[in-house]
């Protein structure tokens, strides 16, 4: 099957690389010269979105929200009965339907580990047939893992798994700095912290235990870990993390509402 990707930035390029063994890919972007230089003859490329959208059976939208109207207006006549997967943050299915009422529309929210085919992508759709959903799931599986979700939670997903890697990166960075503060060489502190994050996740997954059970396992009475946890709680770490997710959710909702209002 042919997949046309519109917008060759971080997300568009990652998707092309992730799905290349299973689909015939084409791309278009704002600068054809830039696209040509990156492409190096690997994929079919077009110098305009209209020809690109004509080529694919499935159209993937990976442009920024502020040019959605321009792009949909250009390509709308080519998309009858095609599958359109939008990765654009904050744009609702209903908004895209305004232009493409006879297409099958899927809305998806990936995260940055898509660069190594390890995105966890939340997705939702309306009125999709069985064959189409199998194809959509194939694309999302090539990019990593996926979770189907009601569209009303998409903005919350943006705050949780969309922004999540940046929040986790700050926790990792803070622990590395703490190791350096304690006198450990940066490279060694980095390895200790990175491997601790990685193996803790593996342990939670493989043993299927809850994070609080794992904490209790490490936290001996009157011991070292509980002294550290006391400081984390005193510093309101849980509130800070919850507030970060909720602030990102709120921002995604504001963007969504802006585009919903624009539609009305
Ligand atoms: N990055 C993430 O982690 C992430 C995660 C979840 C969702 N998203 C969503 O994914 C979308 C893309 O994000 P991104 O990070 O890939 O952004 P990006 O790197 O800025 O990519 C957008 C691409 O669209 C191109 N473009 C601009 N005008 C165009 C036009 N008229 N026709 C075709 N292409 C055009 C841009 O080209 P120029 O650079 O030449 O202008 C750029 O290559 C956004 O809507 C974002 O909300 C991103």
**171-192, pLDDT tens digit by residue?**
999 999 999 999 999 999 999 9
pTM over 0.85? The answer is yes
**133-148, pLDDT tens digit by residue?**
999 999 999 999 999 9
Q: Parse the chain into domains and list their residue ranges.
A: 2-150, 164-252
Q: 2-150: which CATH number, 3.40.50.300, 3.40.309.10, 3.40.50.720, 3.20.20.70?
A: 3.40.50.720
Strand partners, 6: 28, 61
Test site for ligand 1: of 13, 61, 63, most ligand atoms within 8 A of the Cβ:
63
Order of strands, sheet of 2-6, starting from the edge strand that comes earlier in the sequence: 44-45, 24-28, 2-6, 58-61, 83-86, 104-109, 119-125, 144-148
Residue whose Cα lies nearest atom 24 of ligand 1: it is 7
| Class in CATH terms, 164-252 | mainly alpha
Test site for ligand 1: of 6, 7, 116, 144, most ligand atoms within 8 A of the Cβ:
7
């Amino acid at each position: 099957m042919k997949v046309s990707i519109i917008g060759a930035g971080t997300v568009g390029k990652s998707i092309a690389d992730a799905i290349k063994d299973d689909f015939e890919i084409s791309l278009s972007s704002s600068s054809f010269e830039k696209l040509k230089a990156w492409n190096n003859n690997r994929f079919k490329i077009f110098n305009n979105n209209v020809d690109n959208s004509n080529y694919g059976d499935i159209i993937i939208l990976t442009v920024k929200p502020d040019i959605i109207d321009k792009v949909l207006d250009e390509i709308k006549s080519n998309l009858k009965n095609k599958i359109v997967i939008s990765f654009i943050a904050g744009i609702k299915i209903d908004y895209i339907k305004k232009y493409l009422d006879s297409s099958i529309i899927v809305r998806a929210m990936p995260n940055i580990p898509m660069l190594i085919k390890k995105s966890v992508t939340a997705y939702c759709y309306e009125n999709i047939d069985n064959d189409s959903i199998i194809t959509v799931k194939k694309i999302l599986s090539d990019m990593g893992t996926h979770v189907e979700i009601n569209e009303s939670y998409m903005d919350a997903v943006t705050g949780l798994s969309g922004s999540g890697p940046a929040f986790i990166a700050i926790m990792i960075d803070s622990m590395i700095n703490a190791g350096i503060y304690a006198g450990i060489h940066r490279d060694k502190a980095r390895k200790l912290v990175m491997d601790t994050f990685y193996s803790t996740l593996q342990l939670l997954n493989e043993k299927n235990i809850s994070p609080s059970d794992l904490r209790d396992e490490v936290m001996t009475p009157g011991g070292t870990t509980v002294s550290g946890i006391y400081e984390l709680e005193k510093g309101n770490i849980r509130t800070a993390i919850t507030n970060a997710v909720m602030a990102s959710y709120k921002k995604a909702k504001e963007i969504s509402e802006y585009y919903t209002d624009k539609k009305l």
